[in-house]
């Protein structure tokens, strides 16, 4: 006799609403920057620490592949983003139990990926505007989508780490 397959429980609102919120915040903030700052303009917000800027990135994180002569890079990045979105949704669908922290982390990554994909398809580049620095040391400019991806990856990573630690500590010991 075959065992009944495990029923997957999913928290669909927790994957949809945060992702949608991130996309809306990301796109609204980018439109505000486009409407108020010229490209390469910088406005100090907290002297010595934080500026609002308006930069464009045709490449990936930290300016990797950010070259105007790399048209094939656009297609690589769009394809990679679409593949990442598909994998995130597949991961969510395949989760065996309802894990709200993992779902939230995946949702933040999903929302960030969608926000940057919208820019990439619409403008062939991504608008970055948050500039954090100390003295002359600048973190590369980023946006709401990038921040969501980073926080989401941190939440997923911590969840994986602590869930695997918990499984190891509750596994039966070998008594020989």
- At 7-17, the pLDDT tens digits run 566 788 999 99
Give pLDDT, residue 96.
72
Pairing of strands 137-138, 50-57: unpaired
What is the torsion angle, in degrees rounded to the nearest 10, for the CA atoms of residue 137, residue 140, residue 143 and residue 145?
A: -130
Q: What pLDDT does residue 71 have?
A: 67
Cβ-contact 31, 117 below 8 angstroms? no
The total number of residues written for the chain in this structure: 176
Q: Flag whether 47 is in a domain.
A: yes
Contacts of 64 (CB under 8 A, 6+ apart): none
146 is catalytic: yes
Q: Indicate the pTM of the whole model.
A: 0.83
Domain assignment present for residue 30? The answer is: no
Please give the Cα distance from 166 to 170 (Å, whole number).
6
pLDDT above 60: residue 110:
yes
In a domain, 145, yes or no: yes
Give dist(CA 1, CA 79) in Å, integer. 44
Q: Is residue 107 part of a domain?
A: yes
CA 112 to chain centre: 4
149 against 174, higher pLDDT: 149
Which one of the listed residues 26, 119, 128, 131 is annotated catalytic?
128
Is residue 3 over pLDDT 60? no
Report whether pLDDT(108) > 80: yes
Domain count across the chain: 1
Q: Would you say 97 and 72 are in contact if contact means Cβ atoms under 8 Å apart?
A: no
pLDDT digits (tens, 9 = 90+) for 76-100: 889 999 999 999 999 998 887 778 9
Task: Supply the range of the domain harboring residue 70.
Answer: 35-164
How far apart are the C-alpha atoms of 111 and 105, rounded to whole Å? 10
Annotated catalytic residue within 26, 119, 131, 146? 146
113 in a structural domain:
yes
Q: Is 48 left (phi over 0), alpha (psi -120 to 50) or beta?
A: left
Which pLDDT does position 7 carry in this prediction?
55
**Residue 97 within any structural domain of the chain:** yes
Residue 14 lies in a domain: no
Listed in sequence order, the residues at least 6 apart from 102 whose beta carbon sits closer than 8 Å to its beta carbon are: 95, 155, 156, 159, 160, 163
77 in a structural domain? yes
């Amino acid at each position: 006799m075959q065992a009944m397959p495990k029923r997957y429980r999913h928290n669909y609102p927790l994957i949809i609403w945060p992702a949608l919120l991130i996309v809306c915040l990301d796109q609204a903030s980018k439109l505000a920057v486009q409407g108020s700052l010229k490209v390469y303009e910088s406005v100090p917000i907290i002297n010595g620490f934080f500026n609002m800027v308006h930069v464009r990135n045709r490449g990936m994180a930290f300016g990797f592949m950010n070259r105007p002569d790399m048209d094939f890079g656009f297609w690589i990045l769009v394809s990679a983003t679409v593949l990442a979105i598909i994998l995130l949704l597949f991961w969510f669908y395949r989760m065996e139990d309802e894990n709200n922290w993992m779902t939230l982390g995946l949702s933040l990554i999903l929302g960030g990926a969608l926000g940057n994909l919208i820019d990439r398809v619409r403008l062939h580049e991504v608008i970055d505007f948050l500039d954090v620095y100390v003295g002359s040391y600048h973190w590369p400019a980023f946006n709401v989508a990038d921040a969501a991806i980073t926080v989401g990856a941190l939440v997923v990573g911590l969840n994986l780490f602590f869930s695997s630690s918990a499984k190891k500590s509750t596994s039966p010991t070998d008594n020989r």
